[in-house]
Structures are given as structure tokens and as C-alpha cells.
Amino acid sequence: MSLARVQFFSISLDGFGTGEGLSLEEPFGHAGERLHEWMFLTRWWRKMVGESGGSSGIDDAFLRLHDQRIGAELMGAGKYGPPGWHEDPEWKGWWGPNPPFHTPVFVLTHHPRESIEMEGGTTFHFVTDGIDSALARAREAAGGQDVKLVGGANAGQQYLAAGLVEEMQLNVAPLLLGGGERLFENVGADLRLEQNRVVHTPEVTHIQYLLSRRLID
């Protein structure tokens, strides 16, 4: 069976995956772009947004592994759009006509919407019957490849709490946010993380975990 992976999720040193006050103008709230500044410096990112230059070091190499073995993606409603996006029938995500996913993407929401086919192979499907249904549909669409959970923090919490994540790649940025939404809030005390790989760069620390659950005495 394909793995469900939290892949390249950036958090602060105090554990926040996003800031406070999310809006159309501030998709990550008061965190702004600080959690992802390391990514914006890379050649991979510059090429993706149609620019030249950028660094070609370790951070760039990690990002080039970004889509390997990924056949479908999952995201929460807050990752897909700002609060209230479901009331705008023209909203098609933050990423323009050619989103960077290039796979089927399953969006967790309480508001039904028809699937939206975008350029470049991305199709957004909106799932209203829970995380298990979304993962099952994503695995079917992935065709034996892995399913990537791209955020946000609340969706990550739900999948971690349910024991449905087998692998996690975190990017820990050297900053404190002091508020927002933590990835590891409300996930239970029986979650066991096996640290599999740690790579440091001046901008960020990449940590890979293998996950399981254990019984608490």
C-alpha cells in the first residue's frame, strides 16, 4: 500500500505551522513568509516561479525530492484558501491557473463543490465526508504511489491523531512565532516518532521521522 506522508512541512522552533490572523492578504497570518524563506532562496523555487538564479545547495536538493513517488495530495480547507473561500464560486486556490501539485488534490471541507481541473495535471476534488474517505480516494487516485499531506496544521493534526501518517519530513525554521496553529497539538500521547534523518543548513533543519503508535501503560 502507498504511504501517507507529511512532506516538507515547515514549522517554527516553538512548533507552529502557521501564524495567527490568516486572511486573503496574509495566507500564513502574522508568520508571513518567514517559515518558508529558506525555500524561496533555492534554484528549485526560482525555476518554478519562472525566475533564474537561486541556491543549488542542500535545501535545493531536498526540494528536488519533493514530488518523487507522489501520486496524489491531501490538504485542509485552510490550505486551499482564506476563511470564507467556499462562498466565492470563482476561487480556485492560491496558486493561479497552473498549481505546483500536478496530481489529483483532495481538499477536506464541509462545503460541497464540483471538482476543478487546472492546468499542468492538477485537479482539485472536495471531500466532505472526513479524513478516512479523503485518504482512501487519494490512495486510489495515486495508483500505488504515495499520498502527500501538504497542510495545513489542522489537517495534519487530524491525520496524526488518527494514526494515518507513516512518514514525516519537517523543515524547522530558526524562529519563534509565539502563536498560531501547532502541528502537534491534539495528536495524543501515544504517537511514536522514530528520527530517521537530520540535515542542517544555515537556513533550516530538515528532519525525517517514521511514525507509529504505541500503548501507554
pLDDT tens digits for 37-87?
Answer: 999 999 988 887 778 999 999 999 988 876 678 999 999 999 999 999 999
Q: Specify the CATH number for the domain of residue 185.
A: 3.40.430.10
88: Cβ contacts below 8 Å, ≥ 6 apart: none
pTM of the model: 0.91
Number of separate domains in the chain: 1
Q: Is residue 58 part of a domain?
A: no
In angstroms, rounded to a whole number, what is the distance separating the alpha carbons of residues 198 and 32? 26
pLDDT confidence tier of residue 91, bands split at 50, 70 and 90: very high
Q: Is residue 74 part of a domain?
A: yes
Q: Is residue 36 part of a domain?
A: no
Q: Is residue 46 part of a domain?
A: no
**Domain housing 160:** 4-29+68-86+98-213
pLDDT at 194: 93
pLDDT at 1: 61
List the grid coordinates of 29.
497570518
Q: Is residue 93 part of a domain?
A: no
List the grid coordinates of 104.
489529483
Q: Is residue 153 part of a domain?
A: yes
